[in-house]
Amino acid sequence: MELDRADRRILEIVQTDGRIANVDLAQKVALSPSPCLRRLNRLEETGVISRYAALLDPKSLGLGLTAHLEVMLEKRVEHARATFRQAVQRWPEVLVCYALSGQWDYFLKVVAPDLEHYSRFLMENVLSLPVVVNVQSSFVLEKVKEGTALPLQHLPPV
């Protein structure tokens, strides 16, 4: 899908303010409201905009611990990946799970109220899976940068 300057501007704005009124969006993009809404609908229908969400503050909800967990699976077990992937889907503490290249098989971003809860999650869920052979936890000490907006500078100029 080709994105022109107006499409890109719409994407930049809705990434930081998904609740912006169409009239305000149109004004910022220098379009009238009807064409702006048609463009926004096209971006949604084609999947460029996949969804809208509210971003919650974990600390204000009592989730003061964020851990990054690297997981290694038993490579000789045929169903190891399927077993692990199914288990991860059941764990609400896991915000992100990526399959990796390199030494570790998976990376997880996990939130918990505190170290005690995280320890229980790790032992009762992750380490109890027979396909898991090694894990390494790292704890977030300070949030230096955390964003959700994707960079758009790489797109070809229009």
All CATH 3.30.70.920 domain ranges in the chain, comma separated: 59-139
**What DSSP string runs through 58-78?**
TGGGT--EEEEEEEEE-TT-T
Q: Strands, DSSP E only, in 45-131? A: 65-73, 94-99, 106-112
Q: What's the CATH number for 59-139? A: 3.30.70.920
Rounded to the nearest integer, the mean pLDDT of the chain is 97
Answer yes or no: is pLDDT of 127 > 80: yes
Answer yes or no: is pLDDT of 89 > 80: yes
In this prediction, residue 158 has a pLDDT band, given cuts at 50, 70 and 90, of confident
* pTM, entire model: 0.89
What's residue 16's pLDDT?
Answer: 95
Determine the 3-state secondary structure of 128 from DSSP: coil
In this prediction, residue 67 has a pLDDT band, given cuts at 50, 70 and 90, of very high
Q: Which of 62-76, 121-135, 144-158 has the lowest mean pLDDT?
A: 144-158
Pick the CATH number of 5-45 from 2.60.40.10, 3.40.50.450, 3.30.1340.10, 1.10.10.10: 1.10.10.10
